[in-house]
């Protein structure tokens, strides 16, 4: 495997692992909320998706970007790198903020932040090095459309005239020798 191909594979893997790590972490309990007062109420568990409701969608953008890194090339790959950096940034910031706030578990917010950093780093690498990476082969491209040649006729064909004549006689031209 060449160096550029290996770097592309590593970047795609890094992006996918980061997005999956963020998805896993936002599905876990980040906070346990207990109600204080004269009547003891059951505690509520808030998952990361309840604390950061947008995090799942952003992590899915990172996961889709991992697959898209293989399909795009040139400037589109650089643009995808910017998008992945912008997707990793809020995951990292949200995870760090929630871990620093100390409202509950620290592990899952830190893992969300780590996932965001991985997605962002993969985006930075795609932005800087992506245009030099290999692309899909030509067999995955749509074939060029062949020119269509139109032929104009001077009038109706004999079969068209014969069908209309059969209708004029009251016959069904679609019935064949029954």
pLDDT tens digits, one per residue of 84-141: 999 999 999 999 999 898 877 889 999 999 999 999 999 999 999 888 888 876 666 6
Q: Which two tokens mark 76?
A: 């589109």
Task: Taking the CA atoms of 84, 124, 129 and 20 in sequence, report the sign of the dihedral they define.
Answer: negative
Question: Any idea what DSSP says for residue 131?
Answer: G
Angle at 71 between CA 128 and CA 74, to 5 degrees: 40
Query: Is residue 141 a contact partner of residue 34, using CB atoms and an 8 Å limit?
Result: no
Residue-wise pLDDT for 144-171, tens only, equals: 777 656 555 555 666 777 778 888 888 8
Alpha-carbon gap, residue 162 to 32, rounded angstroms: 84
Give the pLDDT confidence score for residue 148 in this predicted structure. 59
> Exposed, middle or buried by CB within 10 Å (0-12, 13-18, 19+), for 59?
buried
pTM above threshold 0.75: no
Q: Which residues pair with 31 in a beta bridge?
A: 46, 104
Classify residue 130 by its DSSP letter: G
């Amino acid at each position: 495997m060449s160096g550029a191909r290996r770097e592309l594979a590593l970047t795609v893997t890094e992006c996918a692992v980061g997005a999956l790590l963020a998805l896993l972490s936002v599905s876990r309990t980040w906070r346990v909320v207990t109600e204080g007062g004269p009547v003891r109420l059951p505690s509520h568990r808030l998952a990361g998706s309840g604390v950061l409701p947008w995090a799942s969608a952003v992590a899915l953008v990172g996961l889709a970007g991992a697959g898209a890194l293989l399909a795009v090339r040139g400037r589109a790959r650089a643009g995808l790198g910017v998008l992945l950096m912008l997707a990793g940034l809020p995951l990292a910031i949200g995870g760090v903020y929630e871990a620093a706030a100390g409202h509950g578990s620290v592990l899952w917010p830190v893992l969300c932040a780590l996932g965001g950093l991985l997605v962002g780093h993969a985006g930075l690498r795609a932005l800087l090095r992506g245009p030099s990476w290999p692309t899909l082969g030509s067999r995955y491209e749509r074939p060029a459309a062949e020119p269509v040649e139109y032929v104009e006729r001077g009038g109706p064909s004999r079969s068209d005239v014969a069908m209309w004549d059969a209708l004029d006689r009251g016959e069904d031209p679609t019935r064949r020798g029954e």
